[in-house]
């Protein structure tokens, strides 16, 4: 299978790559080429049967997204697309910088929108495939200091819902993944105990499980929170 993962150099993206690596072709991207290269090399050593390729891409930049999509299409039809690239910036709508919403939408929504549009044509011809959009608990409820990040994640969930309806006749599944707090670099130094929040592999396992169901079953939404609830 050909599996495309954005924001794949670390955190959730790296965990998705790890769980799908064996005997698959992985097409990975991230902004930091050095970290991405290290991740790809590590995965290739760990999973010799995998076929791993990577391309430095800033998913905020439409032209780079187009270039990445064309590069992915050169390998064949995408079987699984994981739109994971994203960024969190805390803030208040009333006081945050005017450019914050633009940045959040470009990173968290437009990246998935444009890449999906450019890969899905081949998937429709093939009459199968699975698209995972990594949303957030912030897609479901407003919270203090959520600001433009929450707006963008609500939008990504809306994109997922509409895409699901459009692609039903083509046999393509769409799943919106809404995790609560997951231990990634963004939590280091915050004082929150690692055991209080979820592990990245928890989310990866759920995505992998959803991808393995029969053709006639589609998990439309995955909502997963820490055992003690949101932080």
Contact predicate 222/206, CB 8 Å: yes
Q: Cα–Cα distance between 165 and 204 in angstroms, integer?
A: 24
Q: DSSP per residue over 97-118, as a string? A: -THHHHHHHIIIIIHHHHHHHH
Cβ–Cβ contacts within 10 Å for residue 49, how many? Answer: 9
Contact predicate 56/38, CB 8 Å: no
Helix (H) or strand (E) holding 23: none
Q: Cα–Cα distance between 228 and 185 in angstroms, integer?
A: 21
The one catalytic residue among 113, 149, 170, 183: 149
Q: Name the DSSP letter for residue 64.
A: H
Q: Cα–Cα distance between 149 and 115 in angstroms, integer?
A: 20
Q: Judge whether 149 counts as a catalytic residue.
A: yes
The contacts of residue 142 (CB under 8 Å, 6+ apart) are: 150
By annotation, the residues acting in catalysis are 149
């Amino acid at each position: 299978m050909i599996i495309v993962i954005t924001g794949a150099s670390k955190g959730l993206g790296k965990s998705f790559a790890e769980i799908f690596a064996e005997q698959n072709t992985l097409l990975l991207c991230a902004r930091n080429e050095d970290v991405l290269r290290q991740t790809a090399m590590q995965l290739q050593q760990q999973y010799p049967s995998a076929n791993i390729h990577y391309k430095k891409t800033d998913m905020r930049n439409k032209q780079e997204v187009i270039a990445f999509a064309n590069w992915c299409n050169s390998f064949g039809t995408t079987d699984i697309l994981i739109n994971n690239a994203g960024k969190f910036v805390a803030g208040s709508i009333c006081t945050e910088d005017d450019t914050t919403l633009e940045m959040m939408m470009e990173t968290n929504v437009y990246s998935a929108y444009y890449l999906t549009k450019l890969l899905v044509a081949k998937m429709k011809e093939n009459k199968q495939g699975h698209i995972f959009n990594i949303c957030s608990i912030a897609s479901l409820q407003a919270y203090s200091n959520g600001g433009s990040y929450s707006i963008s994640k609500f939008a990504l969930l809306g994109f997922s819902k509409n895409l699901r309806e459009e692609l039903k006749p083509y046999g393509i599944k769409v799943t919106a993944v809404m995790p609560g707090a997951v231990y990634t670099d963004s939590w280091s130094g915050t004082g929150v105990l690692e055991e209080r929040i979820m592990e990245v592999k928890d989310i990866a396992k759920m995505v992998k499980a959803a991808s393995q169901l029969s053709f006639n079953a589609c998990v439309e939404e995955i909502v997963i929170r820490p055992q003690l609830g949101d932080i």
